[in-house]
Amino acid sequence: MTYDRLLNTAAAWMLALFWLLPLAYAVWTAFHPAAYETRFDLLAPLTLQNFAQAWSEAPFARYFLNTMILVTGIVAAQFTLCTFAAFAFARFTFPGKSIMFALVLMQLLIMPDILIVENYRTMSQLGLIDTIAAIGLPYVASAFGIFLLRQTFMTVPKELDDAARVEGCSYLGILWRVYIPLAKPTFLAYGLVSVSHHWNNFVWPLIVTNSVETRPLTVGLSIFAVTDSGIQWSIINAATLMTSGPLLIAFLLFQRQFVQSFMRAGIK
Amino acid sequence: MDTARRQWIYAWLMLSPAMAFLILFTHYPAVQTILNSFYSTPRGRREAVWIGLDNYQTLMLDDVFWKVLANNFWYAVWTIPLSIILSLAMALWVNDKIRGRGFLRMAYFTPTVLPLIAVANIWLFFYTPGFGLIDQIRGLFGLPEQNWMGSPDTALYAMIAVAIWKEAGFFMIFYLAALQTVSPSLKEAADIEGASRWYYFRRVLFPLLMPTTLFVSINAVINSFRLVDHIFVMTEGGPNNASSLLLFYIYEVAFDYWDTAYAATLTVVMIAILILLAIGQFFLFDRKVHYK
């Protein structure tokens, strides 16, 4: 029994260290001079020079701004659209409901990520190529969000709903005062997944953007890493850490809430 | 009657904004993709013309397509089971009273929040022949240098490793959420009966986790077609398409060669595969999933 336990603990730790290795390595090179890229010396001098250099060599400030605008825009739009749609599915009976729901679920399988050719055509017809809106629009009506919120809304006790109706609450009032407050953990979990998904998204932004004013961090980083290819891992890794930094720090700070909100949201 | 009518109106009003976007960016392009696969690519002043199944004929004779399809098959065959098994192991460990539980959970989950395109840079260094980390470790054991990404035999597997590393921690969360709902009395009962840990897992836990496994495996299937970001940075599909995947090939055909009709044809194949796999999974799991 204890032998079994020991073996499991050892395996769990080995895997964890292996899983952290890429990040640990990036941190090592980013904070040390280039000479220590492959030499691991505990007394190696620390430096922030790599970050300074990466920051000055590409318009990362602008990329950050673009990503921030993109992610806030998408999450705000998703919350609004998906909440109304989910409420309609959870609370009302209306003709065509099941067909509509099937149409929504289809997007779980056929995601905007694979419809790049046609969505590019649509964007150019709308004159939106190379805008931040174009990066976000295909994702604002999210089937995952609608499904998740509908599941949560369906668990709201009918009695609460009825009580609010008796008090003279309108449908919008019920949604705002009863359903949304009860679904807070789901909103948090969904919001976090959505933020990390769109912060990290790459292929579609690469396709629809072609200027500094619109490019998000991921695309900016890929261009930076290519122009710099062959030289100085330490600078590329500093840039890599910068782009993932805010998300990583946010995750480390809110780790517990993150995992718990997932569990409470009943995503299983 | 009147309230029923009012409910319809409310429901439709609330649903319509989401449906409008969904139709514009999912259903309309999906239908358009299928239609365009029967037309030629418009070039300059030449309009697209109906060419029937010509694009599909090109596809059948396209060696790169078959190569990429085979690659994607192996990519799926390795990433789906391995990431599911690893994520389940991770969840079981972290759910237990193991030493350093918080740290382990953090370590497993971290790759999920890192952009794949960014970590590709780090993995790129690991794989670099000669002075990359893997070769340095191999060097300690006197093993020769190996060009992991430059050799057709290993390039795809190098990509597979990155994908598994990226997605396993995300799946762990779903298993963890499911494990939290398993009543501790089940474990106590098993202990009283003298069941081994393995027996308890196989006969009690695993069947209870089936709905989660279905959910996770559908996600893993979708990811095996969607996770291609690292290929852009690491190999660009090379050498000689050895590490190219279907979505990467679609990107190349559409936005490097601007052959949009052929790219649409490839997309149709991808949608068909996804739908078939999803249906297959539901049937496969049908009898084994126990919903409460």
A18-27 tens-digit pLDDT = 999 989 888 8
Residue A30: name the closest of A44, A18, A16, A43 by CA.
A44
Residues 245-264 of A with CB under 8 A from B: 247-248, 251-252, 255, 259, 262-263
Q: Kindly determine whether residue B122 and residue A267, on different chains, have CB atoms separated by under 8 Å.
A: no
- Find the length of chain A: 268
Q: Kindly determine whether residue B267 and residue A17, on different chains, have CB atoms separated by under 8 Å.
A: no
Region for residue B225 given its phi and psi (left: phi exceeds 0; alpha: psi -120 to 50; beta: otherwise): alpha
Cβ-in-10-Å burial (0-12, 13-18, 19+) of B22 comes to buried
Residue A195: name the closest of B23, B25, B115 by CA.
B115
**Mean pLDDT within B141-154:** 83
Residue B66 parent element (H or E): helix B63-95
Cβ proximity of B34 and A105 under 8 Å: no
**Mean pLDDT within A22-51:** 80
C-alpha distance from residue A242 to each of A64, A213, B108, B136 (Å): 10, 19, 21, 27
pLDDT computed for residue A268 by the predictor: 44
Torsion of Cα atoms, B155 then B157 then B159 then B160, to 10°? 170
B48 secondary structure, DSSP code: P
Question: What is the domain range of residue B189?
Answer: 58-286
Q: b vs e for A210-220, b when ≥16 Cβ sit within 10 Å of the residue's Cβ?
A: eeeebbbbbbb
Residues in chain B within 8 Å Cβ distance of A8: 93, 96, 98
Other C-beta atoms within 10 Å of B140: how many? 7
Residue B172 parent element (H or E): helix B155-179
CB within 8 Å of B126: residues ≥ 6 apart: A22, A25, B132, B133, B134
Quick check: A141 pLDDT over 90?
yes
Q: Kindly determine whether residue A15 and residue B255, on different chains, have CB atoms separated by under 8 Å.
A: no
The chain A residue lying nearest B248, using CA atoms, is: A203
**Residue B49 within a domain:** no
Q: Closest partner residue to A107 among B22, B131, B176, by Cβ?
A: B22
Q: How far is B187 from chain A (nearest CA, A)?
A: 15
Question: Of 3.40.50.300, 1.10.3720.10, 1.25.40.10, 3.40.50.2020, which CATH number belongs to A48-264?
Answer: 1.10.3720.10
Quick check: A231 pLDDT over 70?
no
Q: Kindly determine whether residue A259 and residue B105, on different chains, have CB atoms separated by under 8 Å.
A: yes
Token look-up 């992610």 returns A71
Q: Kindly determine whether residue B32 and residue A237, on different chains, have CB atoms separated by under 8 Å.
A: no
Instruction: Report chain A's mean pLDDT, rounded to a whole number.
Output: 87
Token pair in block for residue B290: 């126990």
Distance CA B286, CA B100 (A): 38
Give one DSSP letter per residue of A88-131, joined into a string.
HHHH---TTHHHHHHHHHHHHHS-GGG-HHHHHHHHHHTT-TTS
CA atoms within 13 A on the CB side of B147: 6
Residue A90: name the closest of A174, A190, A169, A191 by CA.
A174
**Mean pLDDT within B199-215:** 87
Q: Among A62-71, A236-245, B55-64, name the one with the lowest average pLDDT.
A: A236-245
Distance CA B74, CA B69 (A): 9
Residues 44-63 of A with CB under 8 A from B: none
Residues in chain A within 8 Å Cβ distance of B122: 22-23, 25-26, 237, 240
ipTM value: 0.89
Quick check: B238 pLDDT over 80?
no
Token pair in block for residue A199: 């912060």
Residues in chain A within 8 Å Cβ distance of B107: 16-17, 19-20
Quick check: B115 pLDDT over 80?
yes
Q: Kindly determine whether residue A122 and residue B106, on different chains, have CB atoms separated by under 8 Å.
A: no
pLDDT computed for residue B29 by the predictor: 95
pLDDT computed for residue B72 by the predictor: 95
Share of chain B above pLDDT 70, in %: 97
Q: Where are the domains of chain A?
A: 48-264
A230 pLDDT tier (thresholds 50, 70, 90):
low
Share of chain A above pLDDT 90, in %: 44
Quick check: B1 pLDDT over 70?
no
Residues 15-44 of A with CB under 8 A from B: 15-17, 19-23, 25-26, 38
Q: Kindly determine whether residue B27 and residue A116, on different chains, have CB atoms separated by under 8 Å.
A: no
Q: For helices B246-255 and B260-286, what crossing angle results, to 10°?
A: 160
Q: Kindly determine whether residue B110 and residue A15, on different chains, have CB atoms separated by under 8 Å.
A: no
Distance CA B258, CA B214 (A): 38
Quick check: B32 pLDDT over 90?
yes
A229 pLDDT tier (thresholds 50, 70, 90):
low
CB within 8 Å of B3: residues ≥ 6 apart: none
Mutate to test the interface with A, among B8, B21, B255 (most CBs of A within 10 A): B21
Q: For helices A255-264 and B101-113, what crossing angle results, to 10°?
A: 80
Q: How far is B141 from chain A (nearest CA, A)?
A: 17
Q: Kindly determine whether residue A119 and residue B29, on different chains, have CB atoms separated by under 8 Å.
A: yes
Chain A, chain B: beta-carbon pairs less than 8 Å apart:
262
Q: Closest partner residue to B274 among A110, A255, A265, by Cβ?
A: A110
Q: How far is A227 from chain B (nearest CA, A)?
A: 12
pLDDT computed for residue A266 by the predictor: 55
Instruction: Report chain B's mean pLDDT, rounded to a whole number.
Output: 88
Domains of chain B: total: 1
Quick check: A158 pLDDT over 60?
yes
Coil/strand/helix, residue B126:
helix
Q: What is the CATH number of the domain that holds B90?
A: 1.10.3720.10
Q: How far is B192 from chain A (nearest CA, A)?
A: 15
pLDDT computed for residue B289 by the predictor: 59
B257 secondary structure, DSSP code: S
Token pair in block for residue B1: 């009657």
pLDDT computed for residue B292 by the predictor: 38
**Residue B48 within a domain:** no
Share of chain B above pLDDT 90, in %: 45
Distance CA B33, CA A188 (A): 35
Residues 75-134 of A with CB under 8 A from B: 80-82, 84-85, 87-89, 91-95, 97, 100, 103-104, 106-122
**B248/B132: higher pLDDT:** B248
Coil/strand/helix, residue B43:
strand
Give one DSSP letter per residue of chain A, joined into a string.
-HHHHHHHHHHHHHHHHHHHHHHHHHHHHHTS-GGGSS---TTPPP-SHHHHHHHHHTTHHHHHHHHHHHHHHHHHHHHHHHHHHHHHHHH---TTHHHHHHHHHHHHHS-GGG-HHHHHHHHHHTT-TTSHHHHHGGGSS-HHHHHHHHHHHHTS-HHHHHHHHHTT--HHHHIIIIIHHHTHHHHHHHHHHHHHHHHH--HHHHHH--STTT--HHHHHHHHHHHTTTS-HHHHHHHHHHHHHHHHHHHHHSHHHHHHHHHHTT--
Distance CA B217, CA B195 (A): 29
**Residue B188 within a domain:** yes
Q: Kindly determine whether residue B228 and residue A203, on different chains, have CB atoms separated by under 8 Å.
A: yes
Cβ-in-10-Å burial (0-12, 13-18, 19+) of A4 comes to exposed
Quick check: B145 pLDDT over 50?
yes
Residues in chain B within 8 Å Cβ distance of A91: 11
Quick check: B291 pLDDT over 60?
no
Distance CA A84, CA A90 (A): 10
**Mean pLDDT within A170-183:** 90
Cβ proximity of B225 and B274 under 8 Å: yes
